[in-house]
Every structure is written in structure tokens, then in C-alpha cells.
Amino acid sequence: MADSTALSPAAADRPVYVIGGGPGGLAVAYTLRARGIRAVVLEKSDRVGASWRGHYDRLHLHTTRRLSGLPGLPMPRRFGRWVSRDDVVRYLEKYAEHHELEIVTGVEVSRVDRAPDGQGWLLHATGGRELTGAAVVVATGYNHTPHLPDWPGREEYTGELLHASAYRNAEPYAGRDVLVVGVGNTGAEIAVDLVEGGASRVRLAVRTAPHIVRRSTAGWAAQYSGVLVRRLPVGLVDRLSRPLAKVSVPDLSAHGLPRPDTGLYSRVLEGAVPVQDVGLIDAIRAGKVEVVAAVDGFEDGKVALADGTFVEPDAVVAATGYRRGLEGLVGHLDVLDSRGKPLAHGARTPAGAPGLYFTGFTNPISGMLRELAMDAEKIARAVAKRGAERLSRLPVA
Ligand SMILES: Cc1cc2nc3c(=O)[nH]c(=O)nc-3n(C[C@H](O)[C@H](O)[C@H](O)COP(=O)(O)OP(=O)(O)OC[C@H]3O[C@@H](n4cnc5c(N)ncnc54)[C@H](O)[C@@H]3O)c2cc1C
């Protein structure tokens, strides 16, 4: 339920603080501004779009340009259908400039507390800053903190081990034997990048076989199907997707990658979006990417796999995901579930935390950027309703 607790006149003079200058935070800042509400984005790095600047070089959006634009400014046609990382960054820079968003960079928010007067939120930030906002939108990103499993023997392992967030391109791995761990979209794409970049051997360690979908079939983007089925019952989507997968994706069991037992949409709800094929299927069939068992740990300079075998690669790239990293920021407010995800998102606020909004902590089948755009509109509507006419207003030009 959207929060409807109105603000006192004093609290209403405070701006809305948006924590994080990625696509989610920028979109909310714009939708608030479009309603005449003053929004200040606090971004810990020195520029907007920090996450996108750090992604690997070959990355292109898996979602279409048209369904990835943020409110109030479409992505330019010249970016093509599958937008490159650099163009996403260009777009975010342009977005902030075009909408004249109020952004303070180099400010990291470490903790959010209730304001002492009970009206709004007190933010503790870099340099001992204390900022009080009428409302706060947390947009610090689903992929906030790189997660490296606590594998036995990891600390003693002296070989090259890096998280996928530190991988840029295949150049340092040309002529080398690399083990990629994890077959989400990132692991799958890095494995292909390594093959194309001349690694001498590429193995992909897989614990649970993923759902693999074609990014586009006869011009129909996989994302369109995601949008269509978003509100359908999970069991139905699971059933529908099975025969479709059989037609569009070859059986890779002989190469160590059987079809998954769990349905496609059930897996999405568990947090695993399908892998969009950008060359993995061909690379596996050609034997250029070898599928091996999951990593269980490290022993005597070798990597121990779940099937009892050992491998000795030159480098290990762990595409093992991210954590939300919200505990320090808002964990003490009882607004997170047992997995560290916010209890409410979009226009809804967690019980007992009026004016504390979260965006970007879902991982929808229909595309995260599209979801961020929709949530931004909903959050701005909810904030405007809550503050009625009394929120800190921008001067009318
Ligand atoms: C490799 C990869 C590919 C993806 N491809 C697609 C795709 O094709 N289509 C799609 O729809 N989605 C995609 N996504 C998912 C999603 O769209 C992106 O992760 C997107 O960047 C999320 O935006 P965000 O604003 O929620 O988070 P982020 O972009 O991560 O932005 C968060 C911002 O908050 C800042 N920040 C964090 N903590 C603090 C703090 N305490 N104080 C101040 N600032 C802080 C960070 O510096 C960062 O700038 C992809 C994600 C990844 C990782």
C-alpha cells in the first residue's frame, strides 16, 4: 500500500534525497522534478552511471533500446537495437544534463535514520555530512557488492583469481587457460569473449544448468516475451517455455549442459534470469567452451570441482554475482528481508518507514531498465501524493 502519511509544513521544505546516480536514481530524480519536487541525487563516485562505466568492454544491453530508455528522454536511434556499454554511459550523462538534475557527486551515504523530529529521514554521508530529506529513495543498485563465495582454500590460493566485476576484456588472457565460474549472463558472455580474444582454453564451471534463450528470434526480442508473460501465472509460463526452448535452443546435454529441471519463470523468481545467447551455444557445440562441474574449493594450487576432479587454470574469473549491500545503510530499520532485499519497492514503502522508497532491487524477466523507468513514475506519484502541495518545490521558471 502506498504511504499516505502527510508531512508537516516544516518537513515539507526538505528535498527528496535520491541515493545513487545510476539509471534508477536518475529516473526518479527526473520524475520528481517533472512534478516540481526538488530531488537531490547523492552519488558516491565522481560521475553518474558508475556501474556502467565499470562493466566489461564488449557488453551490450540484452534488452532493446526502445524498452530500455528512461522517462522523458528516449535513447537515440543511432545507438542501434542493442546498445553498447559506452552508449549507455553517454545516454546517462545526457539524461542528467538534459533534465538539469541536481546531482552531488563524491558523496557516499553510509546510514539512513529517522529524522529526530519524526518527519522524514536523516542521512549520514561522506565528510560527516548530515542531511535531512522529506523522503529518501534508495537506488544503490542490485549489483552493488561483488560476491566471491567463501570457497575452502580460497585465501591460500596463489593463482590468479578475480571477480567478473574486475574483468574488462580478453587481452590479458590471450594464450592462457581460463576457468570462468558461473553461468549467468555475465559468465556466459565472458567465456565467449575469452574464446574470441584468443584464450588457449576456456572452461565454464556450472552448478545449476541455466535456461538459455535466443536474444532475438526472427526479429522478436526475448524481452518482448518477458514483457508479455510478466503477469501470467508462474506455472503456466514454466509450461509454455519448455516446448519453446526445445525448438529454439539445441540440446547441449552431450556437452555437459542438460536442460534445466526447474521452470524458466520459477528460476527467475529465485533470482536467475535466463541466459541470453550471445555466442555461448555455438562455442559450446564447437568445443571452444568446455562445461565442467561447479567449483568446490581450492587445494594445493588447484581448483577442486564438485565431481571430484581438479583443474589447474592460469586464471579463474568468478562470475558469481553481487549482493545488495543494504545492511549498513538501512538494515537497522527493519526494512530488509532475510536475504537483504527491501521488503517493498516502487511506490510502496516498508511498514513503519513512510517516505523510504526503494528502486532497482527486483530482477524482472521483462528487463530491469524498463522496470526502473516504471518505478520512477510510481515513486514520484507516491511522493507527490504524500507531500500534497507542501513538498520543497522548485521555483517556477
Ligand atoms: C553486466 C550487466 C548487464 C546488464 N544488462 C542489462 C540489460 O541489458 N537490460 C536491463 O534492463 N538491465 C540490465 N542490467 C541490470 C540493470 O539495468 C543495471 O544493473 C542498472 O545499472 C541498474 O541501475 P541502478 O540505478 O539500479 O543501479 P546502478 O547502475 O548500480 O547505480 C547505483 C549507483 O549508486 C551509487 N551508490 C551505491 N551506493 C551508494 C551510496 N551508499 N551512496 C551514494 N551512492 C551510492 C553507485 O556508485 C552507482 O552509481 C545489467 C546489469 C549488469 C550487471
Q: What digits encode the pLDDT tens for the residues 138-186?
A: 999 999 999 999 999 999 999 999 999 999 999 999 999 999 999 999 9
pLDDT at 72 over 90: yes
**CB of residue 342 inside a 6 A radius of ligand 1:** no
Examine domains 9-144+324-390 and 148-318 and report if their fold is the same. Answer: yes
Q: What was the pLDDT predicted at 244? A: 85
Average pLDDT for 378-394:
78
**CB of residue 109 inside a 6 A radius of ligand 1:** yes
- The ranges assigned to domains in the chain are 9-144+324-390, 148-318
Q: What was the pLDDT predicted at 271? A: 84
Higher pLDDT, 24 or 119: 24
pLDDT at 388 over 70: no
pLDDT classification of 13: cutoffs 50, 70, 90: confident
pLDDT at 35 over 80: yes
**CB of residue 141 inside a 6 A radius of ligand 1:** yes
CA of 22 to the centre of ligand 1 (A): 6
User: 275 and 211 in contact (C-beta within 8 Å)?
Assistant: yes
What is the spatial distance between Cα 375 and Cα 351, in angstroms, rounded to a whole number?
Answer: 19
Q: What was the pLDDT predicted at 11? A: 62
pLDDT at 273 over 90: no
What is the spatial distance between Cα 24 and Cα 20, in angstroms, rounded to a whole number?
Answer: 8
What is the spatial distance between Cα 170 and Cα 270, in angstroms, rounded to a whole number?
Answer: 31
Lowest mean pLDDT among 36-45, 193-202, 258-267: 258-267
Its pTM stands at 0.94
Q: What was the pLDDT predicted at 386? A: 85
**CB of residue 350 inside a 6 A radius of ligand 1:** no
Query: In whole angstroms, what separates CA 215 from the centre of its chain?
Result: 18
Residue nearest to atom 15 of ligand 1 (CA): 368
- Using CB atoms within 10 A of its CB, is residue 4 exposed (0-12), middle (13-18) or buried (19+)? exposed
Q: What was the pLDDT predicted at 155? A: 95
**CB of residue 186 inside a 6 A radius of ligand 1:** yes
pLDDT classification of 6: cutoffs 50, 70, 90: low
**Which grid coordinates belong to 119?**
518527519
Which CATH number among 3.40.50.300, 3.40.190.10, 3.40.710.10, 3.50.50.60 corresponds to the domain 148-318?
3.50.50.60
CA of 156 to the centre of ligand 1 (A): 32
Q: What was the pLDDT predicted at 389? A: 43
Q: What was the pLDDT predicted at 339? A: 92
Average pLDDT for 301-316:
98
Render pLDDT for 95-150 as a digit per residue (tens, 0 to 9): 999 999 999 999 999 999 999 998 899 999 999 999 999 999 999 999 999 999 99
The residue written with cell numbers 563516485 in the block is: 45
Render pLDDT for 231-250 as a digit per residue (tens, 0 to 9): 899 999 999 999 888 888 99
**CB of residue 63 inside a 6 A radius of ligand 1:** yes
User: 197 and 170 in contact (C-beta within 8 Å)?
Assistant: yes
**CB of residue 71 inside a 6 A radius of ligand 1:** no
User: 10 and 71 in contact (C-beta within 8 Å)?
Assistant: no
Q: What was the pLDDT predicted at 393? A: 63
CA of 17 to the centre of ligand 1 (A): 18
- Atom number, ligand 1, closest to the C-alpha of residue 62: 8
What is the spatial distance between Cα 4 and Cα 91, in angstroms, rounded to a whole number?
Answer: 34
**CB of residue 226 inside a 6 A radius of ligand 1:** no
Mean pLDDT in the chain? 93
Query: Is 9-144+324-390 CATH 3.50.50.60?
Result: yes
User: 238 and 259 in contact (C-beta within 8 Å)?
Assistant: no
pLDDT classification of 4: cutoffs 50, 70, 90: very low
pLDDT at 49 over 70: yes
